[in-house]
Structure 1
Amino acid sequence: MRRNKIVLLAALVLALFVGCDDEPQLQTPQPEPEYDMTGFAKGADVSWLTEMESDGVLFYDANGKQTECMHLLRDLGMNSIRLRVWVNPTDGWCNMQDVLVKAWRANQLGMRIMIDFHYSDSWADPGKQNKPSAWADLSFDDLKTAVADHTTEVLTLLKQNGITPEWVQVGNETGNGMLWDDGKASENMAQYAALNNAGYDAVKTVFPDALVVIHLQEGNKNSMYEWLFDGLESNGGKWDVIGMSLYPSADDWESLTSDMISNMNDMISRYGTPVMVCETGMPWDDAETSYAFLSNLLVQCKAIADDQCLGVLYWEPQAYNGWNDYTLGAFDESGKPTVALDAFAE
């Protein structure tokens, strides 16, 4: 009886590995993928992410498997995440607590982080640089203090949670300054420089090694960059990196990219500081052209001498189905990344 039990047990064990006519079914553990988080920054601004998730938006890999967005972007070759900060937004999205949630998630994945201060309760861009409502009636000296205090508060919150940003933008697309009208560069460059420096010094107090970025729109427009940075330089303005945006179309991406690369080389030579593309994007429904643009852009930026171009970041690639009326994302209508993002894996 004992021998029969042993034979039966042996047969059951063998059955786990061998079918009637099948090969053994031993499962080989799959190695964890390796991610390169160093060197040239390849990334995305995903500031809408928590709001999209709250609205039930889901993301999928190329095989249709539901995947958390930052994991998905990392698997696509990205190593950096950019997050905007608003002072007191009416709906709470992009306030410092929301930024902490997204920054913590990126940090857990080993991704590098850029913090983008808008110094506004909502969008700050070339057409509007509105003060936060709580700062509207401040004197100029108090406005500088508010910039410093807000910058310090947000960055200290990150530091307390073990998060160290690699780059910090002091203002967003500030081709004519920020915090209008006090900091409107075309009206008072010295005051813009002073507000910028209030943010710069606050960043360095919390994170001495963080690189402070001044970010302008239309990276192809050399004359605007020379005008603004000459003005800042003559008024004691401080920065570590010159950031650029570029949003070309299918018809002009080659010429605009060429103009921006020329501008980058001029900025590096003229001011002795590195550059990077903080925002870019193209229409989601022409993914092949978008891929051609991004692949070319990444190659040319990486080729800039002495590694003086630090990286390229796509603006809200995860937006799809016209989220917030935005059509320059790089996901298709089913929530999968398009071929455009293959450029980041090359």
Structure 2
Amino acid sequence: MGGSGTGGMGGMPVFEPSFILGADISSVQEAVDEGARYTDTDGSEKGMLELLKNHGFNYVRVRTFVDPGASYGYAFGTGGDCAKEETYCDEDHTVEFGKQIKAAGMGFLLDFHYSDTWADPGKQIIPEAWRSARSIDEMTGLLKAYTRDVVGALVSAGARPDMVQIGNEITPGMLIHVPSASTDCWGNDSVVNPQGLTGRATNQNWDNLAALLKAGIDGVKEVDDSIKIMLHVENTEDVDGVTWWVNSAKTRGVAFDVLGLSCYTAFQGEPEVWENTFNTLAETFPDLSFAIAEYNPERTKANQIMRDLPDGRGLGTFFWEPTQSGSWGSSLFTSQGGTYRANSDAFAEFDAIKASFGL
């Protein structure tokens, strides 16, 4: 990431490990409040941050939503996973989590979803409070002010993020959809904004998307210009598509430091495909650094792909939600009741990465 430095309101040194061995543990706050406990491979009980550090992890990624309590937001609903007593992933919870991360001496990647709930390639729902915007200037103003507010609150609390991600898996763009009558708290069954104002990544609309990206970046830089900026897309299996996307951003003056890609074998193919994509992108865009922003299987291979990129431009990886499993991959823990026990074989793999990479 370049040399260490300070800047802006924070005045704190930039956290720059020789290699990022990171994890997205955004669900941990909620799980702990519900009684979750974590035990390491030796059977000792630890907090999640301490446990991960014990196995070489040095960086944490945390997602944040605009207003999870809004209608169709992450905490909205009447039952199941949708009804929540607290608005997890909002600004207040993000600030508290950020303070814990920095107190643990770890790097902090803040992941702005720019939605009241999950944003991904299938849905990029405009926050409820922003849906009255009728021009791109109005929308960019709202996005910039929100970004500046959250980053400023973190800096003021001594929890300055070292890197900020402007949007989550924004291959199709961002701020595209609105809820329908059947939309749930996950954002399923949303529809394209009928007002027509979106940040879709199409040839006809890329100027709008670029304006939104610039607004988010400006919101960060006005607080602290040392913070690194990541943009995150997920179509790693499509090197031509990623190249088109990055060129579309760069030719419109979107200035960023890191390109993050998602790497799941269930969605983006085998590691050889990821490796080819990263190598091609590194040659095509010599000014960019790279990271695997999300992954699960192929732990050793994913980290080695990053390690092997030229000139240290493969910054590292972020394992997504180690306690969870699904179509994307398997948990690093076994669970019984509210106790999560670290899987010895899985963490032995990270111990080997830690030793091999000198972490």
Give the TM-score normalised by structure 2. Answer: 0.78
Opposite residue 335 of structure 2, the aligned amino acid is E
Shift in Å, 1:70: 0.9
Q: Is the 8 A contact 1:100 1:157 kept in 2?
A: yes
* d(CA) in 1 for partners of 2:94, 2:123: 22
- Superposed CA offset, 1:117-160 (max 9, x none): 00000000000001000101212211101110111011001100
Alignment partners' CA distance in 1, 2:328 and 2:43: 23
Q: Considering only aligned residues, what root-mean-square deviation do their CA atoms show, in Å? A: 2.0
C-alpha contact (below 8 Å) 2:265/2:328 kept by paired residues? no
Distance in 1 of aligned mates of 2:151 and 2:27? 20
Kindly state the Cα deviation for residue 107 of structure 1 after the two structures are TM-superposed.
0.5
Q: In terms of mean alpha carbon deviation, does 262-271 or 194-203 score higher?
A: 262-271
Counterpart position of 2:206: 189
- Label 1:215 to 1:105 Cα distance change in 2 as closer, same or farther (>3 A): same
In the other structure, the counterpart of 2:248 is 231
Could you tell me which amino acid in structure 2 is paired with residue 83 of structure 1?
Answer: V
Residue 81 of structure 1 pairs with residue 60 of structure 2: yes
- Structure 1 unmatched ranges of 5 or more: 1-35, 283-292
Q: Which has the higher contact order (CA 8 A, sep 6+)?
A: 2
Deviation, 1:304, is 1.1
Distance in 1, Cα, partners of 2:17 & 2:350? 14
Q: In proportion to residue count, which structure has more strand?
A: 2
Query: Structure 1 residue 259: deviation in Å?
Result: 1.4
Q: Letter of the aligned partner of 1:182 in structure 2? A: T
Q: What's 2:223 paired with?
A: 206
**Structure 1 residue runs of 4 or more that deviate by more than 4 Å after TM superposition:** none
1:76–1:344: 8 Å Cα contact kept in structure 2? yes
The answer on whether the counterparts of 1:47 and 1:83 sit within 8 Å (CA) in structure 2 is: yes
Unaligned runs of 5+ in 2: 1-14, 70-74, 76-86, 177-196, 354-359
- 2:284 aligns with 270
Share of identical aligned residues, percent? 28
Match of 2:130 among 113, 120, 135: 135
CA 1:146–1:328: 2 relative to 1, 3 Å: farther
Using structure 1 for the length normalisation, give the TM-score.
0.81
Query: Aligned-pair distance for 1:229?
Result: 1.1
| Higher-Rg member (1/2) | 1
Q: In structure 1, what is the equivalent of residue 44 of structure 2?
A: 65
Change (3 A) 1:340 1:220: farther
Q: Within the alignment, does 1:280 sit opposite 2:295 as a pair? A: yes
Number of aligned residues: 295
User: Distance between the aligned counterparts of 2:160 and 2:49, measured in 1?
Assistant: 18
Cα distance change on mapping 1:260 and 1:48 into 2, 3 Å: same
Q: 1:332 aligns with which of 334, 338, 345?
A: 334
Q: Deviations over 1:11-32 (max 9, x none)?
A: xxxxxxxxxxxxxxxxxxxxxx
Q: Is the 8 A contact 1:242 1:273 kept in 2?
A: yes
Asked if 1 retains the 8 angstrom alpha-carbon contact of 2:62 and 2:109, the reply is yes
- Which residue identity lines up with residue 129 of structure 2 in the other structure? A
